[in-house]
Amino acid sequence: MHYLEGLNEAQNQAVTHINGPLLIVAGAGAGKTKTITHRIVHLIYSGVRPDQILAITFTNKAAKEMRERAEKIIHQNIENVVGMPTLLTFHSFCVRILKEQHALLGLKKHFVILDESDAVSMIKEAIKSIGLDPKQYEPKKIKGIISRAKSNMTTRELFTERATSTIESIVARVWALYEKACKDEGAVDFDDLLLETVLLFERHPSVLETYQDRYPYIHIDEYQDTNEVQYRLATLLAKKYKNICVVGDSDQTIYTWRGANIKNILQFEEDYPDALVVLLEENYRSTKNIIAAANSVIIKNKERKDKTLFTSKADGDAIGVYQVFDEKVESNFVATQCLQLIDEGVSPDDIAVLYRANFQSRAIEEAMLDNHVPYTVLGTKFFDRKEVKDVLSYLRAAQNPDSLSDIKRIINFPARGIGKTTLAKLFAGMRDQLPPAMQKKIELFYHLLATIDAYATVNTPSEVLRYIVQTTGIESELKAGSAEDIERLENIKELVTLAQKYDEYPLEEGIDHLLSDASLMSDQDTLTHTEEKKGVRMMTVHASKGLEFPYVFIVGLEHGLFPHQRDGRSSEADKEEERRLFYVALTRAEKKLYLVHAELRTIFGMRQINSPSEFLFDIPNEIIEVEHIHGPREKTVYFEAF
């Protein structure tokens, strides 16, 4: 059993536990993915069929990494393996179930998955249709309320029944129209994927049992980030056999604002009294000083599973704490330090700049440009680019001509002379009342969609996308446009290249996977599309979770900013979440930490004096060195505690 070599005692205990519930409390950098993948291999080695094993993660990036690792180890250690385990994200897993059970749910097989912007657009139309102003009742906020309700297992009917305030009553009315619009288009949003799957299981016990028998061995990654609907899904699937392994760390729960419930992991032993609990506390990523800093910060939290990280690595550099004059000096300091590291031979890709709020990136970007430091900002999704969404909308509309949001997006791109009035009549079923010339344009458009659909039945996904770009006129229009249009065309060409990885699937299945993955991409998944752009990585602390870098700058460490406070107030739960967020930021670093705070900062146009973050005072004096930087040219250096 070569795959067991190199595991520490705790990892080995988790890997070799086969039957019954298992909680793996995995500290930052403690080999979580290695433990899960080796456990999957051990199950197969012990006689479990690969297709009986399910592992669910949160991001496509994590699922891909786990899948590749597992397949490699399986092939290295086990002969004549038939099939592979199912390793998917929550959303991808639910898409698979809904496609298999689409008839039972009244959905078309090729139902549309609305992305965030399409869903918000539909909600905006619903707001208008009840005579309200979208500027007063922001569609994005109403979408957020609906999303949170669905994540908490609240259906529209239940939400309407419980509505007491004016805004809740308005949300209930908008939700009803939004739900109808989705049904008319044969569409679901991200939240529906999970909610509808759980409701399907609860309402149809025989269907649930089918999947329980299909996957008697279940793994849930990042369990501390699960919300109510995800918790319910995992619980239902595991109810029959109870062979559920959950992996997570209560100290890294940083998404309660979008529904994550820390109690899911803290109460696992109450849900499964006979559960084995394994603590992974040995960190393989960071130096002793970084680990000491992280431990000293997180120990102050009360809502947590007790554990203490340790490492066999060297002490490493002291934790650098830098007091700067203002955000301009802060930005210049970060940029020049990055430049110095690069001059010393450090790859720009090995450096990360983390901040609590997105607005902080602007000044740092300017300094990076001024100092000619290569950088890339994590945040803009590849699949959110207009030109990419346009091409994918052609593909979706070809498969499902009832998808009004896709039709609306592309019917006049490239321009066909079809205006909003014509579109309104078309959507209202008044096509026969349009002038003959306009009816001809509409007919040609739908004929084009039918042609694309027919082409898709006999060609690979990449060939279909290439065909769309050429036959719709997108290519010729962008070629004749500005430099910006040429860049858009290059992005579309990148989409075609990306689609080649789906060519290996059966034709129809390949397109399904492409469209599903395009809809389900997360922020971290965009890193794969920026890897060619070498540079210092800039991102929020939230976006950094799961990543690691030798050199990490954490900026804006001031009271009110990090820890963040709304209106100068915060609850105890908020304070603990901010502390967990800082813990996550600290544990991204492998070699060196730069903690930066400014005396003055301009926020919302106002210059304000700031005190250092309370988190800085939690770090032991003996492992820090403090440097005061007064400006770009003058600085006084001395080493002391606060």
Q: Annotated catalytic sites, by residue? A: 32-33, 221-222, 252, 588
Segment (H or E) for 175: helix 166-185
The first and second tokens of residue 461, run together, are: 């996904």
**C-beta of residue 44 within 8 angstroms of C-beta of residue 81:** yes
The first and second tokens of residue 94, run together, are: 């639910």
Residues 6+ apart with CB under 8 A from 72: none
**What is the sign, positive or negative, of the torsion defined by CA atoms of 396, 399, 403, 408?**
positive
Cis ω for the linkage preceding 563 (within 30 of 0):
yes
Rounded Cα distance, 267 and 154, in Å: 22
The first and second tokens of residue 222, run together, are: 């990042």
Rounded Cα distance, 347 and 120, in Å: 40
**C-beta of residue 582 within 8 angstroms of C-beta of residue 261:** no
DSSP H helices, 459-571, are 461-471, 474-479, 483-499, 507-520, 527-530, 541-544
Rounded Cα distance, 459 and 471, in Å: 15
Helix (H, G, I), strand (E, B) or coil at 558: strand
Rounded Cα distance, 212 and 48, in Å: 15
The first and second tokens of residue 433, run together, are: 């009342």
Helix (H, G, I), strand (E, B) or coil at 627: strand
**C-beta of residue 253 within 8 angstroms of C-beta of residue 579:** no
Q: How far apart are the first and last CA of the chain?
A: 52
**C-beta of residue 142 within 8 angstroms of C-beta of residue 123:** yes
Q: What is the gyration radius of the CA atoms in the chain, in angstroms? A: 26
Phi, psi (degrees; rounded to nearest 5) at 282: -85, 120
One-letter amino acid for residue 628 of the chain: H
Q: Cα separations (Å) of 239 from 21, 259, 489, 534?
A: 11, 23, 50, 47
**C-beta of residue 431 within 8 angstroms of C-beta of residue 439:** yes
Segment (H or E) for 23: strand 22-26
**C-beta of residue 453 within 8 angstroms of C-beta of residue 399:** yes
Find tokens 């996957």 and name the residue.
215
What are the percentages of helix, strand and coil residues in the chain, rounded to 5? Answer: 55, 15, 30
Transcribe 357-391 into DSSP letters. Answer: SGGGHHHHHHHHHHTT--EEETT--GGGSHHHHHH
Rounded Cα distance, 218 and 237, in Å: 8
**C-beta of residue 540 within 8 angstroms of C-beta of residue 556:** no
